[in-house]
Chain A
Amino acid sequence: MKTTDVIATAISNTFRSKTRTILTILAIFIGAFTLTITTGLGTGINRYIDQTVAEIGAGDVMTVTHAPDEDAGDGPQEYVADQVAQQRTAPGPPSGQSIDPITASDLEELAATDGVVSVEPVKAIDVDYVRHGDGTAYRIDVGSFIPGMEVQLAAGEQPDAASDALQVVVPVDYVEPLGFDDDAAAIGQEVLFGLTDGDGAEQTVTATIVGVSEAGLGGAGGSASPNTALTDALYAAQETGAPAGQAESYGSATVRFDPASTPEQVEALRADLADAGFQATTVDDTLGAFKTVIDGIVLVLNAFAIIALLAASFGIVNTLFMSVQERTREIGLMKAMGMGSGRVFGLFSSEATYIGLLGSLVGIGVGMLAGTVVGGALSSTLLADLPGLTLIAFDPVSILTIVLLVMGIAFVAGSLPAARAARLNPIDALRYE
């Protein structure tokens, strides 16, 4: 018997007893549906994180600090006067550790390291308030905006790193309090930043709004994003009158490397920096933690879906055992006519696999439909604060994986009855009443 004939026969046999087959398909459908939804959840959330990567940091950048002392131990650390609190550029648990500051000589050392394209100190800016015209002053955080990052914009454009003009992107929450009618009306307007300098005196810097940012998962969404010129201006204002040397020490620095670097090259650079006493973190490191948590949750959800599929696989075993029982004489006849045991096995296991294929296709189809509808509804209601988030998204690879997985499970389930059919002795089968 040709393989195509085996498969075609198996497919037509599948619907010989329709009710039984449909019930089995339903059982698989439930598993495949659940798996589709949970996988879609993982895909959707991870995709959202990838979209917001640009907001957390540029891909070709490492955040470098001095490595904490190895012998710090578990106890409280001794106070050293010139230590600064470790700056963090991305969300994460606060380390609470004090570390040596990055100084001008450190910057030179970093710039000289092999593979480093450029080094910029991270200028931590502590702004007191922001105000538009004579309106009310509001507290605001100013983030560090590294060229290459991208803020998720509600209006306007990204801060121009190369421009000499003082530009800022303000969070969408500030638009109305600052006295603008809507997002678009804020673009091109000037705002005043107030801050306290080293002497305790008040300094002000005026900047132009070039964009309005959406609130994102993390990163720059909740704080103002200045361009390089504004960062420098604010930092200069902040350090006015500060003791000499303080302006030249920073919590951390950003190191830019060749964007075309392979992961191995990045790892090598990180090792080189570690040898020099620096600790380097890339955006991927920061995101890795996020994704690990989400992947863990999705894994648990998927495990439930797999349990549903395993339950369904017993349905397949049952269906096919009944099928073998019913068709005992037919199997005997086919064997008497010279059909090999391998082909008989193929016939029944293809039937199981086909049931799996049908169940997975129906499950995935309905799952995608339900996921899209529910995801759409959620992102306009419950998750409206997270623009750009498609809670349940689908990518072809994971869909294909589900189809193959379900077919695999169905094949394994079907192999037991198929083996029984293959072992049938033609004479006993023909005598069977």
Chain B
Amino acid sequence: MATPILQVDDLHKTYGRGATRFDALKGVSFEVREGESLAIVGKSGSGKSTLMHLLALLDQPTTGTVRLAGRDAGTLRGRELNRARNRTFGFVFQQFFLTSNASVLENVILPLKIAGVGRAERRRRGLAALAQLELEDKARNRASDLSGGQKQRVVIARALVNSPQVIFADEPTGNLDSATGAVVEDILFDLNREQGITLIIVTHDEELAARCDRRIHMRDGLLVEASVDAEEVFAA
């Protein structure tokens, strides 16, 4: 069996000390296989966001290890860590995090700019990503002039532009009405199926979670159950 793209082993994460000590994760172990779609489901405060941050290498666990393609992420430092974040991951956030007075294209190419890609190449790939999401005619618009659904598509284009292996989506449909949300969901699952991008969705929306190959339920910093029903999803 191939090395899992992400593998976590007995993760603990503690915030604060003494009386204010709070254990967000109390020993979580699982793996994410390349190309699958995984939902991390749980109520707020269950530790699902903390888990996502650890998976995305944005934070370090108090104890336990995160392995990225077999390598212990705890050994990545500085430049290497930044490279891994930049090349491996794409992010889709509930609150979009778009720079409102910059153009749509500027927003989309931000990861390429950070990666040090040249100007012409950035533009080409940025427009290609926008075209994939049928937004190429909005490239010059200011990000603040878009509707919620368009904004989330721009965010997905930004997550895609660096051809990441994994896209993290944190409540990707949380700020959208159900029709628009459904469109965004379709886009994400299409990317997963057609381009083989591993999709990790953090949500409390059971319907959205149900569309994923696999779900991890979290409660009080622990996994409650892990269910695999890829056949079900593909059959649907």
Contact = CB atoms under 8 A, between A and B. Distances in A.
Interface of A: 1-2, 5, 9, 16, 329-330, 333-334, 336-340, 343, 425-427, 430
Nearest to A338: B86
Contacts of A430: 58, 93, 97
Contacts of A2: 116
10 contacts: A1-B115, A329-B97, A333-B110, A334-B110, A336-B56, A338-B87, A338-B111, A339-B82, A426-B58, A427-B59
Contacts of A343: 114
A427 B53 contact: yes
B45 to A, nearest CB: 13
A119 to B, nearest CB: 72
B79 A340 contact: yes
Contacts of B53: 427
Given A336-B58, A339-B82, A427-B59, A1 B111 contact: no
B125 to A, nearest CB: 15
Contacts, number: 53
B101 interface: yes
Contact of A337 (B78, B79, B95, B111): B111
Contacts of A426: 58
Contacts of B81: 338
B14 to A, nearest CB: 15
A342 to B, nearest CB: 9
Given A336-B85, A339-B82, A1 B97 contact: no
A425 B57 CA distance: 12
B115 A340 contact: no
Contacts of B111: 337-338
A133 to B, nearest CB: 83
A157 to B, nearest CB: 64
B140 interface: no
B114 A339 contact: yes
A176 to B, nearest CB: 72
A337 B97 contact: no
A112 B214 CA distance: 106
With most chain B CB atoms within 10 A of its CB, the pick from A5, A16, A338, A339 is A338
Query: Lowest 4 CB-CB distances: which A-B pairs, in order?
Result: A338-B86, A338-B85, A338-B82, A339-B114
Interface string B105-145: 00000110111100000000000000000000000000000
A386 B91 CA distance: 72
A338 B116 contact: no
With most chain B CB atoms within 10 A of its CB, the pick from A330, A336, A343 is A336
A5 B116 contact: yes
A1 B114 contact: yes
A337 B86 contact: yes
A340 B97 contact: no
A330 B100 CA distance: 10
Given A1-B116, A339-B114, A330 B85 contact: no
A225 to B, nearest CB: 68
Nearest to A332: B97
B62 interface: no
A88 to B, nearest CB: 69
A337 B116 CA distance: 12
A330 B85 CA distance: 16
A338 B93 contact: no
B195 interface: no
Contacts of B101: 16
Contacts of B114: 1, 334, 337-339, 343
B63 interface: no
Interface in B66-101: 78-79, 81-87, 91, 93, 95, 97, 99, 101
A25 to B, nearest CB: 19
Contact of B115 (A9, A329, A338): A338
A340 B53 CA distance: 17
Given A2-B116, A338-B114, A330 B97 contact: yes
A336 B86 CA distance: 8
B193 to A, nearest CB: 25
Contacts of B95: 329
Contacts of B82: 338-340
Contacts of A329: 95, 97
A5 B56 CA distance: 25
Contact of B91 (A1, A9, A336, A340): A336
Contacts of B58: 336, 426-427, 430
Nearest to A333: B97
Contacts of A334: 110, 114
A1 B86 CA distance: 11
Contacts of A9: 113
A333 B53 CA distance: 12
A9 B116 CA distance: 13
B59 to A, nearest CB: 5
B68 to A, nearest CB: 13
B85 A1 contact: no
A111 B99 CA distance: 82
A426 B81 CA distance: 13
A262 to B, nearest CB: 52
A337 B99 contact: no
A337 B59 contact: no
A338 B82 CA distance: 4
B168 to A, nearest CB: 9
Contacts of A1: 113-116
